[in-house]
């Protein structure tokens, strides 16, 4: 999986991705990250990439030219005529595990992070972006949202997690249930004991208990997940 992020804050993206599992995945070559600073494609001498909106109203908009030039540069680096592009916007389809699995099928993802009040619509139309939101709230820019998407997609790339079962066992697995509670040593902590069944060594009973706990937990915390879709 090759991520290319178009952003005004390339350092934020690089720093966040150079941590933990994503860092190791890059070192091992399972994923790669390239950032393109949209400001490098400013069409004036002072490096501005925003301007007032036609029709008036508050706030500035990112201009079509610099965003489109940055996208073409991404395509050039990827040796592709048209690379799959995702625009991070609260107006997009809401990101979930299913969208993550879909995005993980692409070899290259160009992720566009907007700022100010957004991006001139013509650039987005010309590129033909897939529009993605990470939830119904508003962030100041697409960068933090892009990091959530890249982190989530990365752990679906074969090899990244090492242990192949751990991605599918977790919350939002194919069964759509939350994960069961887990425990590690010590056996007793603050007078709280690890459930006996987990110490029994009886694997069928352990599996049954875990499935029951998943159901209880989902019913309590996310009853919406139990509704048929």
Task: Say which residue the tokens 């110490």 belong to.
Answer: 199
| Omega prior to 48 cis, within 30 of 0 | no
What backbone torsions phi and psi does residue 127 show, to the nearest 5 degrees? -75, -35
Interface with ligand 6GU, residue 135, by CB under 6 A: yes
CB of 59 to ligand 6GU, least distance (A): 13
CB of 100 to ligand 6GU, least distance (A): 14
Query: Which CB sits closer to ligand 6GU, 100 or 145?
Result: 145
Query: Which CB sits closer to ligand 6GU, 148 or 216?
Result: 148
Query: Which CB sits closer to ligand 6GU, 65 or 90?
Result: 90
Q: How far apart, in whole angstroms, are the C-alpha atoms of residue 204 and residue 207?
A: 5
Strand 60-62 vs strand 85-94: parallel, antiparallel, or unpaired? unpaired
Site for ligand 6GU (CB under 6 A): which residue of 138, 182, 186, 228? 138
Site for ligand 6GU in 76-115 (CB under 6 A): 88-90
Return the SS3 of 71. helix
Instruction: Name which of 7, 116, 8 is nearest 59 in CA terms.
Output: 116
Residues near ligand 6GU, by CB under 6 A: 88-90, 133-135, 137-139, 141-142, 145
């Amino acid at each position: 999986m090759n991520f290319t992020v178009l952003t005004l804050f390339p350092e934020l993206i690089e720093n966040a991705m150079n941590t933990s599992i994503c860092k190791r995945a890059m070192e091992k070559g399972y994923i790669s990250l390239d950032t393109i600073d949209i400001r490098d494609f400013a069409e004036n001498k002072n490096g501005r990439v925003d301007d007032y909106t036609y029709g008036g109203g508050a706030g500035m908009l990112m201009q079509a030219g610099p965003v489109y030039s940055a996208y073409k540069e991404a395509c050039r680096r990827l040796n592709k005529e048209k690379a799959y592009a995702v625009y991070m916007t609260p107006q997009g389809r809401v990101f979930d595990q299913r969208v993550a699995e879909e995005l993980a099928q692409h070899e290259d993802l160009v992720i566009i992070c907007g700022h100010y009040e957004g991006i001139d619509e013509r650039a987005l139309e010309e590129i033909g972006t897939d529009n993605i939101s990470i939830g119904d709230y508003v962030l100041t820019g697409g960068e933090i949202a892009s990091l959530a998407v890249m982190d989530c997609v990365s752990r679906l790339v074969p090899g990244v997690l090492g242990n192949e079962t751990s991605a599918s066992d977790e919350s939002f697995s194919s069964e759509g249930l939350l994960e069961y509670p887990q425990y590690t040593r010590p056996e007793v902590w603050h007078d709280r004991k690890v459930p006996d069944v987990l110490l029994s060594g009886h694997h069928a009973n352990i599996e049954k208990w875990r499935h029951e706990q998943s159901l209880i937990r989902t019913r309590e915390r996310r009853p919406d997940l139990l509704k048929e879709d």
